[in-house]
Amino acid sequence: MIKAILIFNNHGKPRLIRFYQYFAEDMQQQIIRETFHLVSKRDDNVCNFLEGGSLIGGSDYKLIYRHYATLYFVFCVDSSESELGILDLIQVFVETLDKCFENVCELDLIFHMDKVHYILQEVVMGGMVLETNMNEITTQVDVQNRMEKSEGGLSAAPARAVSAVKNMNLPEIPRNINIGDINIKVPSLSPF
């Protein structure tokens, strides 16, 4: 079972947090900090699996992570999940995000946190992998978005405008986010 999915940036700022097992609020924050601490000090040329981290579940608990440009995607899983399988699931998730947001970047995740959650809900449900087929996921998300459009009508247009905005180098973009390499790079198939 997947216990938690954490996305944070290179500075440890959480971008998306999803726990599938209950932890108290302060415990959650502690887990995020510990996980960031563990993951951030690892080079890019070491393996993507981590054991230890005493907070979630001791020995029956692994961190499987990928690092894309400014973001870390970390899945906390127990021993019933396949390591390499989860690693590719992260890839599927990120590719889906890339498809839904058209060239996804950290800002998308910040400003559309809710949408990212909806996409994630179609991939993982209650800690179980629900769907691994990218097309299937985007179809489901699209169905929901169409509903949004029909309901939101005109007011949805500015939202699209905002998403166009973020791709332009605007002065409003917070300075301490690294703009240079902000796009999540979705590497092609064998990313080792």
Partner 1 sequence: MSDVVEKTLTALPSLLSLDSQPGSAKLSSTSKLGNLIRGITELTSKHEEEKLIQQELASIKEQVSSPNTSMRQMKELMVRAIYCEMLGYEASFSYIHAIKLAQQGTALEKRVGYLAVSLFLNESHELLLLLVNTVLKDLQSTNLIEVCMALTVVSQMFPKDMIPAILPLVEEKLNHPKEIIRRKAVLALYKFYLIAPNQVQHIHNKFRKALCDKDPGVMTASLHIYAQMIQEKPEGYKDLAASFVAILKQVVGGKLPMDFNYHSVPAPWLQIQLLRILSLLGKNDQRYTSEIMYEVLDESLRRAEMNHNITYAILYECVKCIYTIHPKSDLLEKAAKCIGNFVLSPKINLKYLGLKALTYVVQQDPKLALQHQMTIIECLDHPDLIIKRETLELLFRITNAQNVTVIVEKMLDFLRISEDDYTTIDLVGKVAELAEKYPSECWFIETMNTVFSVGGDMMQPDIPNSFLKLLSEGFDSVEEDKKLRLFAVDSYVSLLQGEPDKLPQRFLQVISWVLGEYSYLKEELQPAAVLRLLAKLLDTKNTSSETKSWILMAMTKLCDGEAGVSVAQEVSETYSSSLDTVLRQRAHELQYLSQNPELRSKVLPRDAGLEVDSSLSFLDGFVSEALAAGAAPYKPPHQRQEELAQAKALSLEPYGLSLPISMSSCSIADRQSPTLLSISSGLSGDSTDLSLKGGSTTLKLDGVKRVWGKEGYLAQREPLEEAAAQVEVPSPLRSPSQTGEADNSHSQTPIPIPTPEPEQEKQQLASSLFVGLSSHSSVSLMGKSEPTPQRFRRKAKSPSSSLDASERISNSLVSSTSTVDNLLCDNLLDTSELAVPSPSLTSQLSQSLTTANGSFDVQLTESDVKGSSPTLVRDNGVAVPLSGLSHSEITPLCSDQSLDLSVCHVQKEEYLALVSCVCDSAVQELRSLGVAVCQYSLTVKRPSVHVEVVGMVSYQLPVGTHQSVQFSHKLPLTSFIRPLTVSTEEYGKMWLDFTNDTKQNLSLISDGQESLTATLNVLKKKLQLHVVEIIGVEGIVACRLHQDQPCLMHCRVHAGTLAVWLRSPVPDLPDCLIYHCQRALQEH
For residue 118, which phi and psi values (nearest 5 degrees)? Answer: -65, -40
Strand order in the sheet with 71-78: 14-19, 2-9, 71-78, 61-68, 49-51
Q: List the structure tokens of 68.
A: 């894309």
Separation between Cα atoms, residue 114 and residue 95, nearest integer Å: 18
Residue 90 or 184 having the CB closest to partner 1: 90
Smallest distance, Å, CB 91 to partner 1? 8
Residues with Cβ within 8 Å of residue 105, at least 6 apart in sequence: 166, 182, 183, 184
Distinct helix (H) and strand (E) counts, the chain: 6, 7
Residue 5 or 184 having the CB closest to partner 1: 5
Separation between Cα atoms, residue 17 and residue 109, nearest integer Å: 11
Residue 103 or 135 having the CB closest to partner 1: 135
Separation between Cα atoms, residue 77 and residue 91, nearest integer Å: 16
Separation between Cα atoms, residue 89 and residue 130, nearest integer Å: 11
CB atoms within 10 A of CB 123: 22
